[in-house]
Amino acid sequence: MTPEQLSAALRTALTDAVAAGDLAVDVPAEVRVERPRNRDHGDWSTNVALQLAKGAGMPPRDVAALLADRLGRVDGVKAVDIAGPGFLNITLDAASAGELARSIVEAGAAYGRNDSEAGHVINLEYISANPTGPLHLGHTRWAALGDAMGRLLTASGAQLTSEYYLNDAGAQMDKFAHSVLARAKGLPTPEGGYPGAYIDDLAASVLEQRPDVVDLPEAEALEVAKEIAYPLQLADIRDTLDAFGVRFDVWFSEKSLHDAGAVEQAVERLREQGHVFDQDGAVWLRTTDFLDDKDRVLIRANGEPTYFAADAAYYLSKKDRGFDEKIYLLGADHHGYINRLKAIAACAGDDPEHNIEVQIGQLVNLGGAKLSKRAGNVIELRDLIGWIGTDAIRYSLSRYPADSPLSLDGEELRKQTNDNPVFYVQYAHARTSNVARLAREDGVLREDGFDPALLGDPTEAALLAILGDFPRVVAQAAHLREPHRVARYLEDLAGHFHKWYDTCRVRPMTADEEVTDLHRSRLWLNDATRQVLANGLHLLGVSAPERM
């Protein structure tokens, strides 16, 4: 019996109690069941009696008693106990619990997918680093978490678009062009410009394509330098993210907003909403009406739009493209953006508590990392991939909440020991693959038989229980935007698997031992574990190796 089937059985018990006149409540569309922390409390638990007691006008334990009586008659339910103020603790019989192994294997990669976020149309923007230099350690956390978050939301039924916002307009692009042109002319980096060997490489490419750039008028030379160097730097960012397993659905250009007149149109649209005013020759947005600490300038007195104006135009672009929910994942130095972005949403007529969500990722410190030889003053993501590996970086960053400062040891992440969480989980998957491979060599084949009632060892009951909890963990991690819940679940699952492996044999002990349904049934459980480990690692963007 799967958690979904048990939930449906509980709902049927509620419906029957209402139909019999024993209970007067509105039956919820779904009854949640959860795995108890203490295995002595059964396989599953629900607090539905506490939730419905007030509406029913009955003590919670009385509601629980009505449900326990009916649920206890359901095939596959071994016992239903009432605990505390009205919790129901449910124990399944071995056959019913063991059927989950077959359900997982047959579902394959789809196991864990759910519809808890169905109907949500979401734009998820993350990283959005200035395209003027290589991606570095400061961008890496959101690269890992943002991609994992997108995978979780998609697995939970959301219609999601991942987006990278290219700040390819404004002062930073001018500094970029000046930096490249200066190096092309053999001059030092201009004040406030971008240093690093990567600028030298870009300058060399500019000279290769346009050797006359050093003789052009300054304005024309800067435009040439930008037109050649920018696509090359953007390609470097894309290639680095591709190596990190991160791919975006949309790369959105800030410059396109300016070129299309969208910034000016955004100002007028906000004015129509009644939140724009003119003062001291500038155009302002009255964001203090929506808890911002001060009003924001949209158009300066000299007629130039501010970055904030582009932010407003970008928000409206997302709204116009049909994204009801917009998630912004920003760096540690962007706390001030939270209220101003929410104010933009409110000024645009949206609900800032529903239509926009802003998360701030805290800083990451990585001991042992060396500054980039190309960039000179940062730790490049490309170098981290070569030094530690994509899997170890992504998993290690995914297993902590984004709002907690993080200090990691690079050499520890490289170690292949059980003290390294990513190795511990990946090794569990490799071990399940090895068990399956050797079992087949010994003639233990799933297709030859399966008797779930034979999976009665305590380690098997515990392993089945945690396997059944995977869809709930995925749904909760998606709803809370917390990929670390999946990582911690996988570590727990790996621990339960290793205990089971040490206790229960899948293969015959000797060449003379007969292959039985017990061996085959345990192979089903082994393969179910392998599937869930693989599905969970995939949600974090981490590989599931078959050999280690």
Going by pLDDT thresholds of 50, 70 and 90, the confidence category of residue 30 is confident
pLDDT at 345 exceeding the cut of 70: yes
Residue type, 109: A
Rounded Cα distance, 501 and 521, in Å = 14
pLDDT tens for 259-299 read 999 999 999 999 999 999 999 999 999 999 888 889 999 99
Rounded Cα distance, 153 and 127, in Å = 18
Pairing state between β 325-330 and 356-360: parallel
Alpha helix stretches (DSSP H) within 57-129 = 60-71, 94-107
Average pLDDT of span 118-142: 93
pLDDT tens for 231-265 read 999 999 999 999 999 999 999 999 999 999 999 99
Find all residues with CB under 8 Å of 175, minimum gap 6, and list them: 132, 190, 192, 193, 194
Going by pLDDT thresholds of 50, 70 and 90, the confidence category of residue 333 is confident
Q: Nearest Cα to 323, choosing from 146, 120, 117?
A: 120
Task: Indicate the range of 26-35, 183-192, 301-310 predicted with least confidence.
Answer: 26-35
φ, ψ (nearest 5 deg) of residue 353: -85, -10
Average pLDDT, the chain: 92
Contact 423, 493 (CB under 8 A): no
Q: Which two tokens stand for residue 140?
A: 């890496």
Q: What percent of the chain has pLDDT over 70?
A: 99
**Residue whose pair of structure tokens reads 């912004």 in the numeric block:** 328
pLDDT at 373 exceeding the cut of 70: no
The pLDDT of residue 375 is: 65
Q: Which two tokens stand for residue 150?
A: 């997108």
**Residue whose pair of structure tokens reads 């192979």 in the numeric block:** 523
Q: What is the torsional sign of CA 285, 287, 292, 293?
A: positive
Going by pLDDT thresholds of 50, 70 and 90, the confidence category of residue 484 is very high
Q: Which two tokens stand for residue 390?
A: 């994509």
Find all residues with CB under 8 Å of 430, minimum gap 6, and list them: 545, 546, 547, 548
Give the domains, in start order, of the chain with CATH numbers.
Answer: 3-92 (3.30.1360.70), 127-259+362-414 (3.40.50.620), 421-539 (1.10.730.10)
Q: What is the torsional sign of CA 330, 336, 339, 341?
A: negative
Rounded Cα distance, 109 and 532, in Å = 8
Pairing state between β 121-126 and 159-166: parallel
Contact 269, 348 (CB under 8 A): yes
Average pLDDT of span 372-397: 86
Q: Which two tokens stand for residue 478?
A: 């998606």
pLDDT tens for 67-125 read 899 888 888 898 999 999 999 999 888 888 889 999 999 999 999 999 999 999 999 99
Q: Nearest Cα to 410, choosing from 370, 372, 367?
A: 367
Alpha helix stretches (DSSP H) within 108-217 = 137-155, 171-184, 197-209
pLDDT at 401 exceeding the cut of 70: yes
Strands, DSSP E only, in 319-402? Answer: 325-330, 356-360, 364-367
Rounded Cα distance, 286 and 275, in Å = 5
Average pLDDT of span 399-410: 89
pLDDT tens for 486-533 read 999 999 999 999 999 999 999 988 888 999 999 999 999 999 999 999
The residue count of the chain comes to 548
Contact 402, 359 (CB under 8 A): yes
pLDDT tens for 425-477 read 999 999 999 999 999 999 999 999 999 999 989 999 999 999 999 999 999 99
Q: Nearest Cα to 403, choosing from 362, 354, 363, 447?
A: 362
Rounded Cα distance, 65 and 211, in Å = 86
Q: What percent of the chain has pLDDT over 90?
A: 73
pTM of the model: 0.89
The pLDDT of residue 132 is: 94
